[in-house]
Amino acid sequence: MQGIAPPATARPCPSCEGRGATRIAAYSRDEWHIVACDACGFVYLANPVGYADLREALAWEKSYALKARKGGSSPLSGLNRRLRRALGHRGGERGTRVWTRAFASGAVLDIGCGEFLRPPEPMVPYGIELSNALHARVDPLMRARGGYCLKAPGAEGIWQFEPEFFTGVIMSSYLEHEVEPARVLEGAHRALMPGGKVFVRVPNYGSLNRRVMGARWCGFRYPDHVNYFTSATLRTMAAMAGFSMQIVNRANLWIDDNIQALLIKA
């Protein structure tokens, strides 16, 4: 984005912390370098911007609005919608209803909560939001329900809660933005009660759509998408944090632009 400069040094692999990586020229743009880790294969943006830019210049609501104006649908999107209908899936079933059924009543944390998902009572909503504008909008709504929203990066805010405080954590369209995804998952494991679950929704780098669309795939967003997960790399990172994983949209995962999964704390 204009006016935003990338850092001079590349970050290590967010999954295995390896330093060796190969640039994927077809998916890199201008000064933004998408790479694959030489050790584990995880795909990520090597030179993401800092948290300060994500609070304002690259806040989620601004980058999402820009994406919406540009479009970016896939020729397989219609097939994916028809397949979901044939399988009896509806929009709510694939998102909100999944985690409302999976979580027990109690405290529920939404990380990157600018689009407040309003967990049903008796769940008590808590949040972590980096964007100044979105935090100001969401915090009063959560306080009215008995919770509150921290204004902080997810990798820092998650550690401010007491251990085993939450029955569920929501990471919907969030983990792809987080520079330290492994640290967030480790913090979520600590903050969850035994048997607690994390609902994750991230772009599906392993989808057929990405292979068909190439660099025009809607999952590429420069520079605010910094991690590109497949179901295998998400499972590996979740396991390293102590979670088992269940894919929610397994039947149509191969053509779905997103992975939806439940991570379960033993």
SS3 string, 216-231, reads: HCCCCCCCCCCEEECH
What confidence tier does 266 reach under pLDDT thresholds 50, 70, 90? confident
The predicted pLDDT at position 59 comes to 52
140 within a domain of the structure (yes/no): yes
Asked whether residue 183 is domain-assigned, the answer is yes
- Asked whether residue 28 is assigned to any structural domain, the reply reads no
Question: What distance in Å separates the CA atoms of residue 108 and residue 101, rounded to the nearest whole number?
Answer: 13
Q: How many domains, in total, are found in the chain?
A: 1
Q: Considering the domain boundaries, does residue 27 fall inside one? A: no
Query: Model's pTM, two decimal places?
Result: 0.86
Residues 103-127 pLDDT 10s? 989 999 999 988 788 888 999 999 9
The answer to whether residue 66 is domain-embedded is yes
Residue 130 identity (one-letter amino acid): L
Look up the domain containing 169 and give its range: 56-265
Compute CA distances 11 → 152, 187, 263, whole Å.
Answer: 21, 20, 26
pLDDT score recorded for residue 80: 54
Q: Looking at the domain assignment, is residue 42 inside a domain?
A: no
Domain CATH number, residue 115: 3.40.50.150
Query: Residue 147 domain-assigned?
Result: yes
- Amino acid letter for position 262: L
235 belongs to a structural domain: yes
What tokens were used for 74? 């896939």
Q: What torsion do the CA atoms of 158, 163, 165, 169 make, to the nearest 10 degrees?
A: 40
With 50 as the cut, is the pLDDT of residue 248 above it? Answer: yes
Length of the chain: 266
Report, as an integer, the average pLDDT of 139-150: 96
Task: Characterize the bridge pairing of strands 34-37 and 21-23.
Answer: antiparallel
Q: How far apart are CA 184 and CA 263, in angstroms?
A: 13
